[in-house]
Amino acid sequence: MSLFDWTEKSPDILRQGGVIAPDERLPWPQTAVMGMQHVIAMFGATVLAPILMGFDPNLAILMSGIGTLIFFFITGGKVPSYLGSSFAFIGVVIAATGYAGQGLNANMGVALGGIIACGALYTAIGLLVQVSGTGWIEKLMPPVVTGSVVAVIGLNLAGVPIKNMAASNFDSWMQAATFICVALVAVFTRGMVQRLLILVGLLVASVFYALLTNGLGLGKPMDLSGLFNAAWFGMPGFAAPVFDSKAMLMIAPVAIILVAENLGHIKAVTAMTGRNLDVYMGRAFIGDGVATMVSGSAGGTGVTTYAENIGVMAATKVYSTAMFLVAALLAVVLGFSPKFGAVIQAIPLPVMGGVSIVVFGLIAVAGARIWVENKVDFSDNKNLIVAAITLILGTGDFTLKFGDFALGGIGTATFGAIVLYALLNRRVASN
């Protein structure tokens, strides 16, 4: 199969309960809509991460599109994935730059140098996997570890919508109404409407929110003034890296977390599609590493395979790489459009929070699916303890500090799972 040669499938396959495989696609109009859904699914987190680090959100969107194109070409269009801003960088970037939490990060250049170093290390790991095979990395990260790490990503993010996206009781109820809208679309609709459950649920919930607030005055009204005032075209804020050894040493180890995330992504997609994508693992690491270096060189965040998109694929049963090519091109165009950013900003925060609850929950379930598909034996205390401790470390955002370096939540869970499994497996082997 050539890079752009997908087998076209009828939407009837989905209505009959089938799936669209990575090397297949729906007709282009439906593929385009599915691509837009993936852009929307990743948008909230991809924009939130740079805001938390003091980076330009529009540039993050642009670089997520460029990064996804890089990943697509390096993997030969075989691995369905979108690359968005990685939350694993937030803690170390804040520590390295001393960012106070408001406005643009004045020391952004130092962080960018560290992000590039991280991407270089990540690429080197990918080259090693490409040359030596996946055996050693799968030994370090078996299904019990990768399933735990994927599940932890969803669970660790759970506090974002619940704690930060509902400022009032009305907002909390609106979040509940939103995830109910998504659930109703997922269960009671058919065809393309069902496959677009995130997008349709978000639109229905937004209209409902407008009726209750703008119409009945029950909450904070939707403000569309930013949308009307925003320009259609505008340049994002590019920035240059500064290579500081201390910051590079602090940020570069995040590559290990990205490896675990990417490995978990590939395992999750393999479990959902029945297609073994392990042969592309080295190229996937290289693609993600190169994309991270390119993003850091322009002023963007470090990127990673996006768990939100795993959730959407799991719900829609559409795994075509064609829709990620479309999503990437859309993100590149939208990265130059303040108008698009204003559209997303106009979505009520509790509505986005309700959608996030669904998506993050689907991520957690995707991790559990890795356990099920690989028949992880939880009667074995080794697997039971590794999964149990990993889930709590990640969910509770357990943090360890090494001088100025802080390893939190996803990081401690990832390293903890790898080290704990190696320790316990050594004990089992010695017996």
Residues 284-326 have pLDDT tens digits of 999 999 999 999 999 999 998 876 677 788 778 888 899 999 9
87 has pLDDT over 90: no
DSSP character at residue 214: I
**Residue 296: predicted pLDDT:** 95
Dump strand ranges (E) for 244-314. 303-305
DSSP character at residue 85: E
Q: Kindly state the tokens that stand for 348.
A: 């009520």
- Left if phi > 0, otherwise alpha if psi is -120 to 50, otherwise beta: which for 406? beta
Residue-wise over 387-420: b if at least 16 C-beta within 10 A, else e?
Answer: bebbbebbbebbeeeeeebbbbbbbbbbbbbbeb
**Residue 404: predicted pLDDT:** 63
Residue-wise over 74-103: b if at least 16 C-beta within 10 A, else e?
Answer: bbebbbbbbbbbbbbbbbbbbbbbebeeee
Q: Among 71, 66, 130, 116, which Cα is nearest to 265's?
A: 71
**Residue 430: predicted pLDDT:** 54
**Residue 288: predicted pLDDT:** 95
Residue 291: Cβ within 10 Å count = 28
Cβ partners under 8 Å of residue 53, min gap 6: 89, 90, 93, 94, 97, 99, 105, 111, 301
Q: Kindly state the tokens that stand for 168.
A: 């009032």
CA atoms within 13 A on the CB side of 24: 16
137 has pLDDT over 60: yes
Q: How far apart are CA 164 and CA 159, in angstroms?
A: 7
Threshold 0.75, pTM exceeds: no
- Burial of 17: CB neighbours in 10 Å, binned 0-12, 13-18, 19+: exposed
Q: Could you give the 3-state DSSP secondary structure of residue 299?
A: coil
Asked if 394 and 413 count as a contact pair (C-beta separation under 8 A), the reply is: yes
Mean pLDDT of the chain: 83
Q: How far apart are CA 367 and CA 364, in angstroms?
A: 5
Q: How far apart are CA 278 and CA 265, in angstroms?
A: 11
Q: What one-character-per-residue DSSP string does 335-357 give?
A: HT-HHHHHHHHHS-HHHHHHHHH
Average pLDDT for 259-265: 80
Average pLDDT for 102-111: 85
Q: How far apart are CA 183 and CA 355, in angstroms?
A: 10
Most confident listed range (35-44, 74-83, 359-368, 421-430): 74-83
Q: How far apart are CA 397 and CA 152, in angstroms?
A: 10
Average pLDDT for 330-339: 87
Confidence of residue 123 (pLDDT cuts 50, 70, 90): very high
**Residue 17: predicted pLDDT:** 65
Q: What percent of the chain has pLDDT over 90?
A: 22
253 has pLDDT over 60: yes
Q: Kindly state the tokens that stand for 26.
A: 């729906």
Confidence of residue 406 (pLDDT cuts 50, 70, 90): low
pLDDT tens for residues 152-193? Answer: 877 877 777 777 677 788 888 989 999 899 899 888 887 657
**Residue 300: predicted pLDDT:** 93
Secondary structure percentages of the chain, helix, strand, coil, to 5: 70, 5, 25
Task: Evaluate the CA torsion angle 80, 85, 91, 92 in order and state its sign.
Answer: positive
Tokens 């660790």 locate to 156
Confidence of residue 270 (pLDDT cuts 50, 70, 90): confident
**Lowest pLDDT segment from 194-198, 343-347, 420-424:** 194-198
Compute CA 117 distance to the chain's CA centroid, rounded to the nearest angstrom: 21
β-strand 83-85 against 303-305: which pairing, if any? antiparallel
Q: Which residue has the higher pLDDT, 184 or 200?
A: 184
Asked if 360 and 311 count as a contact pair (C-beta separation under 8 A), the reply is: yes
Confidence of residue 420 (pLDDT cuts 50, 70, 90): very high
**Residue 290: predicted pLDDT:** 97
Q: What percent of the chain has pLDDT over 70?
A: 91
**Residue 165: predicted pLDDT:** 73
Dump strand ranges (E) for 11-131. 24-25, 83-85
R_g of the chain computed on alpha carbons: 21
- Calculate the alpha carbon distances from 357 to 88, 156, 183, 210, 222 in Å: 19, 12, 11, 20, 21
Confidence of residue 352 (pLDDT cuts 50, 70, 90): confident
**Residue 279: predicted pLDDT:** 87
Q: How far apart are CA 252 and CA 189, in angstroms?
A: 46
- Left if phi > 0, otherwise alpha if psi is -120 to 50, otherwise beta: which for 191? left
**Residue 386: predicted pLDDT:** 93
What angle do the packed helices 28-53 and 90-97 form, to 10 degrees? 30
Q: Among 395, 394, 396, 388, which Cα is nearest to 420's?
A: 388
**Residue 429: predicted pLDDT:** 54
